């Protein structure tokens, strides 16, 4: 059976994420600006790139290579068309992280925003061990109420199958999983959202 993310249209995803009642697209854009500038790295990788939100903050004078990884080939085609100014820097990779992590190249900075929820801690560990980054910056969604984890919106039914692959995230569990593979938490920040949820950014550094 196909992965649910292969069936969700980019238009539905982006319209849902940018609604005033959700505002995750806007929050993620601001966070990614910080992520791209926070650490000394010439190579970066974004796991679960979707439509490329945040790539406008990539400075070609800093990065010689940025990899955009996604399981949805249509998303990657959209990214390639949207960010032609990153030609020669941006490389899109069509990879299923759960089953094909061995295809990932190495990188100095790994960014994974709202991605670990859909592959699980174990698959995320495999991706990190394969890419061997110096720094890992990730964002997870924390539900601060008892409502469903996908926010109400006119596009809600586009996400019906995501329950098949969704894993509830916890900061302490993610931090423990990272320590297990040699990474130490160096930064944590919470970004409240308008719908009783929060985005939590957790950054890790490889232990030497």
Mean pLDDT per block of 10 residues along the chain (208 residues) reads 82 79 82 97 97 96 97 96 96 96 98 94 97 97 62 56 76 96 97 84 94
* pLDDT given for residue 52 in this prediction: 96
Gap between the Cα atoms of 133 and 107, Å rounded: 5
What pLDDT, on a 0 to 100 scale, did the predictor assign at position 146?
54
pLDDT for position 201: 97
pTM: 0.91
Q: Which of 162, 184, 198, 172 is nearest to 2 (CA)?
A: 162
User: Using CA atoms, how far apart are residues 83 and 40, in angstroms rounded to an integer?
Assistant: 23
71: nearest Cα among 92, 43, 42, 54 = 92
- Nearest residue to 121 via CA among 50, 193, 172, 69: 172
CA 23 centroid distance within chain: 16
| CA 48 to chain CA centroid, nearest Å | 5
Closest by CA position to 78, among listed 140, 165, 4, 12:
12
Length of the chain: 208
Nearest of 61, 186, 65 to residue 136 by alpha carbon? 186
pLDDT of residue 151: 53
Report all structural domains of the chain as residue ranges with CATH numbers, in order of start.
Answer: 4-206 (3.40.50.150)
């Amino acid at each position: 059976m196909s992965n649910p993310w292969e069936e969700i249209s980019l238009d539905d995803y982006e319209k849902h994420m940018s609604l005033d009642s959700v505002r995750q697209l806007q929050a993620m854009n601001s966070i990614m600006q910080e992520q791209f500038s926070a650490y000394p790295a010439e190579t970066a990788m974004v796991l679960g790139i979707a439509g490329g939100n945040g790539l406008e903050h990539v400075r070609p004078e800093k990065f010689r290579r940025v990899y955009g990884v996604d399981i949805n080939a249509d998303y990657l085609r959209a990214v390639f068309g949207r960010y032609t100014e990153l030609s020669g820097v941006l490389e899109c990779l069509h990879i299923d992280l759960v089953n094909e992590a061995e295809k990932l190249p190495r990188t100095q900075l790994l960014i994974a925003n709202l991605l670990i929820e859909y592959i699980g801690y174990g698959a995320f560990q495999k991706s990190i061990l394969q890419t061997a980054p110096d720094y890992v910056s990730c964002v997870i969604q924390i539900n601060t109420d008892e409502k469903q984890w996908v926010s109400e919106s006119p596009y809600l039914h586009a996400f019906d199958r995501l329950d098949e692959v969704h894993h509830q995230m916890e900061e302490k569990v993610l931090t423990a999983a990272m320590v297990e593979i040699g990474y130490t938490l160096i930064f944590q920040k919470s970004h409240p959202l308008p719908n009783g949820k929060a985005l939590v950014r957790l950054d890790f550094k490889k232990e030497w």
